[in-house]
Amino acid sequence: MYDTFLETYRRFWQQGLNFKGRATRQEYWVPQLLHFGILMVLYFIMTILFQMKSINFPYLIPALYIIGLILILVVLIPHLAVMVRRFHDVGHSGWWVILFVLSPVIWRLITHLIIGWFSNELSGTVFIVATLAYFSLQIWGFVQLVRGSMEWRNKWGEQPI
């Protein structure tokens, strides 16, 4: 049932453009945590280098930043694909991923643009409602991603092995 780390990661890339079917928790979380760890290491190195005022490599921090951006861009589509398959695995449409992924942008727009228009008591209410909706959606999405697989066939296929 459980594959090795490398087998799971290889499957992530093999299924990188597959938005159909189902994906296990392992298929989702192994690459997610690996890529997050790599980005955190890059961020940590950039922070240390930034604190060192006597650094003789002025292009090192921007180069690390660009490496991080390239990593994000390279894994974006495969991450979206495995997220869609993960949502399928727990019985939800993959279209929920769009709302889940875009909710930070929507929240930013609501809290900054609309609140700028209503500079009175209403702005506080708009902020609270938008923030509660945003965090509720993020928590719901996270719960879907950590839930176990449906143990029976659903409209997206058989339970992944």
Q: Is residue 11 part of a domain?
A: yes
For residue range 85-136, list pLDDT tens digits in order: 999 999 999 999 998 889 889 888 877 777 777 666 667 777 888 889 999 9
For the entire predicted model, the pTM comes to 0.80
For residue range 23-46, list pLDDT tens digits in order: 999 999 999 999 999 999 999 988
Q: Is residue 161 part of a domain?
A: no
Give the pLDDT confidence score for residue 20 in this predicted structure. 93
Q: Is residue 152 part of a domain?
A: no
Q: How many domains does the chain have?
A: 1
What would the two tokens of residue 66 be?
């660009």
Express the helix, strand and coil content of the chain in percent, nearest 5 each.
Answer: 70, 0, 25
Q: Is the pLDDT of residue 9 over 60?
A: yes
For residue range 131-151, list pLDDT tens digits in order: 899 999 999 999 999 988 887
Q: Is residue 81 part of a domain?
A: yes
**CA distance to 27, 111, 112, 135, per residue, from 115 (Å):** 40, 6, 6, 18
Give the pLDDT confidence score for residue 57 in this predicted structure. 72
Q: Is residue 18 part of a domain?
A: yes
Q: Is residue 158 part of a domain?
A: no
Q: Is residue 159 part of a domain?
A: no
Q: What range does the domain containing 124 cover?
A: 5-146
Instruction: List CB contacts of 5: < 8 A, sequence separation 6 or more.
Output: 30
Q: Is residue 157 part of a domain?
A: no
Instruction: List CB contacts of 99: < 8 A, sequence separation 6 or more.
Output: 137
